[in-house]
Amino acid sequence: MQMHTFPEISAMKLFSLARAFALVLGLAGTAAAADLSVVATIPNLGMLVREIGGDAVTVRVLAPPNRDAHYLEAVPSMMAALRRADLVVSIGADLEVGWLPAALTGANNRRVMPGQPGNFVAADQVKLLDDDKPADRALGDVHPHGNPHVDFDPERLAAIGRALARRMGELAPAQATEFAKRAETLAEALAEHGARWKERVNDAPGVLSYHSDHMYLLRFLGVKELGTIEPLPGIPPTAAHLRGLVRRLREEPPGVIWTSNYQPDRAARFMARELGWPSHQLPTQVPMDGGFDAYVAMVEAWLDTLDPP
């Protein structure tokens, strides 16, 4: 049987090969370590992280876009994601209070606990609406510290993006300049779209929302707010409240009714029948892996409902 022999390799050559192999492994490890592992509580924040972080981040979103983030429950999959995270990005202002603290405790990851650099709260970066009311749940079940739905305001979202880029840069200094540039590009794009959106809705009808999750967008656009179907944030409407709304709104010019896709639409349909107003139910969150284009399309879908028939 013929034996195959291999050329003799000197000890020096073996040493050089070993060093090269170790260098490759080291570079691979460095590249993997450069990825910032981020957990966002809601899809719109996941979009923000992806737009700012680009290829330097991996993003996991906890709340599906068709679920109300006020009312989720902490589950093992959330804890597993948080356990591996370098950064958790939440809305705050008690939006996730029913489940995020429990998920963080179960994850037992000190890096992302409140007060640590790996814990970023969007609501802490901007002025909240309705934050001048007493922090009392008797005035609403889910907004005791102000309205948390800041992700639906282009101006506030830009400010949050800049602050988030700074925090991400602290955790990944080699990428800090790139994060800042991407956040500025995003802010400029939001400003451009925002100016166009404001012009588009000039003379738009007023809006009656089911919940106050549209308040920031309506204030930004300058569209008249006609109230909410909920008597207080998170409190389902009673028949008496709806009848009172109908009486009041019959004195107003015709408007539009908005309901988010995860909210019950029975009361909105009742209001639409009584008032003869159009009612629309659409998403307020991008898809789980959605980017900036998805955010723009989402806002414009709402604006489409304000166009004359």
Tokens 């998170």 label which residue? Answer: 234
What confidence category does residue 307 fall into, taking pLDDT thresholds of 50, 70 and 90? confident
Q: What angle do CA 230, 233, 239 make, to 5 degrees?
A: 25
The pLDDT assigned to 309 comes to 67
Checking if the pLDDT of 87 tops 50, the result is yes
Check for a shared fold between 30-197 and 200-304.
yes
Lowest mean pLDDT among 7-16, 210-219, 242-251, 279-288: 7-16
Place of tokens 């090969």: 17
Burial of 26 (0-12, 13-18, 19+ CB in 10 A): exposed
Q: Which helix (H) or strand (E) holds 87?
A: strand 87-90
> What is the homologous superfamily of the domain 30-197 according to CATH?
Nitrogenase molybdenum iron protein domain (3.40.50.1980)
Residue 101 contacts by C-beta under 8 Å, 6 or more apart in sequence?
none
* Weakest-pLDDT range from 4-18, 75-89, 153-167: 4-18
Q: Between vectors from CA 59 to CA 297 and to CA 153, what angle results, nearest 5°? A: 40
Domain edges within the chain: 30-197, 200-304
Tell me the mean pLDDT in the region 254-278.
96
In tens, the pLDDT along 198-248 reads 999 999 999 999 999 999 999 999 999 999 999 988 899 999 999 999 999
Task: Using pLDDT thresholds of 50, 70 and 90, give the confidence band for residue 272.
Answer: very high
Q: What percent of the chain has pLDDT over 70?
A: 85
- Backbone dihedral region for residue 115 (phi beyond 0: left; psi -120 to 50: alpha; all else: beta): left
CATH number at 200-304: 3.40.50.1980
Structure pTM?
0.86
Q: Buried (b) or exposed (e) across 75-104, using 16+ Cβ within 10 A? A: eeebbebbbebbbbbbbbbbbbbebbeebb
- What is the pLDDT, as a whole number, of residue 293? 98
